[in-house]
């Protein structure tokens, strides 16, 4: 009987997937400019119930945006340059605010997790200009850094669909020519 109860509890934990929660790359605008290639990224970020509950109980989340300049090959894509933007999202119960800070950004406070995620959901970066051929694309993905979670939470996060918040890599063309 104990075995049946354990199996039921594990099944319940893994069955609720939070269908509305997702990390999706919605739009990438990559254009050649004088100083290189300017990339603007827009993402749709939302959290599952389990992740939002952990956040509201004081567990900080690290959201990573990875943006890569790739040269297209016959069998694979070679990454020429890569940028990773990290944003830390924390909840402070005393003030009732969600705080976002990052590697190169100032600290901002928000009243709701969705407002904080809206701020995190855009990125702008510039790559050095490669050769002028058309064989380059921009690849983008966004994810929660599970390895940055507190150690007791990592095993649950690794195996629970509730914690698998990561967009797929998506590729986008580079438009235009340098401005004068």
The two three-digit tokens of residue 45, written as one number: 């970020």
The mean per-residue pLDDT over the stretch 100-128 comes to 87
Query: Domain-by-domain residue ranges, the chain?
Result: 2-175
Return the percentage of the chain with pLDDT > 70, whole number: 82
pLDDT digit string (tens) for 119-176? 999 888 888 876 666 678 899 999 999 999 999 999 999 999 999 999 999 999 887 6
Going by the DSSP 8-state scheme, the letter that residue 75 receives in this structure is S
pLDDT digit string (tens) for 53-68? 999 999 999 999 999 9
Check residue 175 and give its pLDDT. 79
When mean pLDDT is compared over 24-38, 88-102, 133-147, the highest value belongs to: 88-102
> In Å, how far from its chain's centre is CA 64?
4
The two three-digit tokens of residue 163, written as one number: 């914690």
Listed in sequence order, the residues at least 6 apart from 172 whose beta carbon sits closer than 8 Å to its beta carbon are 28, 30, 137, 138, 139, 140
Check residue 21 and give its pLDDT. 72
**Least confident piece of the model among 2-6, 38-42, 103-107:** 2-6
Give the predicted TM-score (pTM) of the model: 0.81
Nearest Cα to Cα of residue 64 among 138, 147, 174 = 147
Based on its alpha-carbon atoms, the radius of gyration of the chain, rounded to whole angstroms, reads 19
C-alpha 27/C-alpha 95 separation (Å) is: 34
């Amino acid at each position: 009987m104990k075995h049946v109860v354990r199996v039921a509890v594990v099944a319940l934990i893994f069955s609720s997937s939070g269908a509305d929660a997702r990390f999706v790359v919605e739009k990438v605008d990559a254009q050649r400019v004088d100083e290189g290639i300017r990339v603007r990224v827009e993402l749709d970020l939302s959290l599952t119930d389990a992740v939002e509950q952990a956040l509201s109980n004081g567990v900080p989340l690290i959201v990573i945006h990875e943006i890569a300049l790739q040269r297209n090959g016959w069998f694979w894509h070679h990454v020429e340059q890569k940028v990773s933007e990290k944003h830390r999202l924390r909840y402070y119960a005393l003030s009732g605010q969600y705080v976002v800070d990052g590697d190169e950004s100032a600290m901002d406070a928000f009243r709701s997790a969705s407002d904080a995620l809206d701020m995190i959901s855009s990125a702008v970066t510039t790559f050095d200009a490669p050769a002028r051929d058309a064989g380059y694309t921009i690849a983008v993905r966004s994810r929660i850094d599970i390895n940055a979670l507190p150690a007791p939470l990592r095993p649950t996060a690794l195996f629970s669909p509730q914690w698998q918040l990561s967009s797929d890599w998506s590729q986008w063309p580079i438009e235009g020519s340098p401005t004068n």
